[in-house]
Copies of this chain bind each other. A is one copy, B any other.
């Protein structure tokens, strides 16, 4: 159970037809212990040195997102960030612009949004929502 999140994600990857490599496992471990969404560069920096190339992180995170193993977010400056889907319900974040402190926000209007999307005939709906502010210390 130490790593049930990672295990669940690995199964998910496998079922989605993606291959299980040591690089990907390491990335999932990093994502599992992160308390906030990580960018590709940040995830790479957290990997045991020499685990894999930054490019591989970009490519894998893209695949992870495609099959739903991770949830994609965007920072105020446009940087893409990812966090594991398993073990976390769909959620969003409140991030301090200055220090990066991040808090989890559980409110989400996914259903309402998807309903609007469907009313226009759109499919494969997804959404991005992030809250930014200045935290008490900054």
A residues whose Cβ falls under 8 Å from a Cβ of B: 72, 74, 76-80, 94, 96-97, 103, 105, 107, 109, 112-113, 116-117, 120-136
In the bound complex, CA of A107 to CA of B103 (Å): 23
Most buried by B among A76, A109, A123, A128: A128
Q: Which of A128, A129, A131 lies at the interface centre, i.e. has the most chain B CB atoms within 10 A of its CB? A: A131
Q: Choose among B80, B126, B130 the residue that contacts A133 (Cβ–Cβ < 8 A).
A: B126
Question: How many chain copies does the complex carry?
Answer: 2
The chain B residue sitting closest to A128, CB to CB, is B130
Closest partner residue, chain B, to A132 (CB atom): B126
Given contacts A79-B78, A113-B107, A120-B103, contact A129 B132 (CB under 8 A): no
In the docked arrangement, what's the CA distance between A38 and B129, Å? 19
Complex-state Cα separation, A105 to B131, whole angstroms: 18
A128 and B133 CA atoms in complex are apart in Å by 12
How distant is the Cα of A50 from the Cα of B121 in the complex, in angstroms? 40
Given A74-B78, A78-B78, CB of A122 within 8 Å of CB of B135:
yes
Docked pose: A95 CA to B21 CA in angstroms: 35
A1 → B minimal CB distance (Å): 30
